[in-house]
Structures are given as C-alpha cells and as structure tokens.
Amino acid sequence: MDTNISLRQLAKMIDHSLLHPTMTDAEIRQGCEIARRHAVATVCVKSYAVAMCKEILADSDVEVCSVIGFPHGNTTTTIKVAETEQAIHDGATEIDMVINIGKALGGDWDYVKTDIAAVHQACGKKGALLKVIFETDYLQDDPIIILCQICSDLKVAFVKTSSGYGFVKQASGGYNYQGATEHVLSLMRQHSAPEVQVKAAGGVRTLDQLLKVRQLGATRCGATATDIMLEEARQRGYA
C-alpha cells in the first residue's frame, strides 16, 4: 500500500471517461453520478454533453472536461477552436484535444504546433486547462518526443497518451490497442517540461495500474473502471 497518497488524492487523479460512441444520455447521467460519488477530478465527455453534465454536477467539486476533434484529430483548426469555445461556454473547465495525427506522421510540425497553439489560446482566454492527446499507438518514439517538446514550448497543462479509440490495424486484419504503456509514459515524462503534467489514458483498469502510472509520473488518468479502482482502494485501507 502506498501510504503517501490518500483515497481523495487517488480519486482526483481520475477523469471519469464517458466517451464511447454508443453511450446514451441516461448512461452519461449514470456516469456523472459515479463521478460525484467518488469525487473524481472530472467527467470527460463529448462536447454535446458538456452542458448536461455541468448541470448534473453543479453541486459537486467534479469538473467537466470536453474532448475536441475526437477521436482522430482531423477537423480543421478553425473547427477545433470553435468546438473548444462552445465547450467552455457550456461549462467545460478542461479540454482534451486530439492532434492531427496524419500531420504528425507526415512530419508537418509547423501545422501541428499551430493547431495546438490555437486551441491553447482559446482555452487561455477563458481559464480552461488544455490536455493534448498524442494517440501514441500510432507513433514511434521520435515523434512522441517532438510532440512533448512542442507542448512544453507552448506551456500546455498536460500531455496525454491516447483517446482510447486509436485502434491499429494488424496484418491479420484485426485491430490492436495498447494505450498508456509504461514505455510511453516514461518517455513523455522524460521529455516534457517539469510543469507539463502527464495524463495516462487507455488500459488503466485496476488500482495497481493506477498506482503504477502514478509512479511513472502521470498525475491524471482517463478511466472507465473508476468504481472498480476506487472500491478496491477502500478495501485496501486507503482513506
């Protein structure tokens, strides 16, 4: 047991993810109640659901985080900015944007930086935090390092591993997904400025995995298994 962290601190590491494309409003409402019960950091939702979630959680200290350009990052910068402004207007205090992954893979770093900078500026005008989703399953180490440097130069709040939906097609025709691996988290922590935090997303489903990503330097984690992780923490004696 890690005695250096409390149950509340573990909960405040979690962005409770409500992003599956099939989720109904009723399921999102249920997810907000889970987030409220555990007093997590945020609910992370699709932009159309921000206003609803803000209303549901108005009497709690759970914030609302909206994804932008989700999940593939391929909308234009103008649209990403407009979506960001609308989400903040509706009550989001944190924004998780997806980079243009094709531009990163093509080495068009000026485009990628301009894209991130525009959303960051829109967040800054309203005091919202920006987390930048790399989608690391698609990337080798070198572009991940460059992205960390770009985000450090721009002074964004967080770099984030994954959307949770970056499935990579295999030679067999099937799809594979790894998410927040130990290697990627270590790489991102090593190559990001100290003031830029790291968010792990994808594959963190147990308390031990949550504690592990914390050990690797992640201060926030996107999770759907919030109930499971925090109930296990209570059973282990975290208070």
**List 15, 90, 96, 115, catalytic entry:** 96
Largest CA distance in the chain: 50
Active site residue 46: no
Q: 10 Å Cβ neighbour count for 135?
A: 24
Confidence (pTM): 0.95
CA distance 33 to 36: 5
**List 12, 46, 54, 160, catalytic entry:** 160
CA distance 144 to 147: 5
**List 46, 80, 113, 199, catalytic entry:** 199
Residues 49-98: tens digit of each pLDDT: 999 999 999 999 999 999 999 999 999 999 999 999 999 999 999 999 99
Here the CATH number for the domain that contains residue 17 is: 3.20.20.70
Residue 176 in this model has a pLDDT that exceeds 70: no
In a domain, 219, yes or no: yes
In a domain, 2, yes or no: no
Supply 92's token pair.
Answer: 């989001």
End-to-end CA distance of the chain: 12
**pLDDT at site 172:** 76
Beta strand spans in the chain (E) = 14-18, 42-45, 63-68, 94-98, 129-133, 158-160, 168-169, 175-176, 197-201, 218-223
In a domain, 53, yes or no: yes
- Tally the domains of the chain: 1
For residue 218, the enclosing domain spans 7-235
Active site residue 96: yes
Does the bond joining 71 to the residue before it have cis omega, within 30 degrees of 0?
yes
In a domain, 172, yes or no: yes
Q: What are phi and psi of 82, to 5 degrees?
A: -60, -40
Active site residue 12: no
Residues 123-165: tens digit of each pLDDT: 999 999 999 999 999 999 999 999 999 999 999 999 999 998 8
- Look over the chain and give the mean of its residue pLDDT values, rounded to a whole number: 95
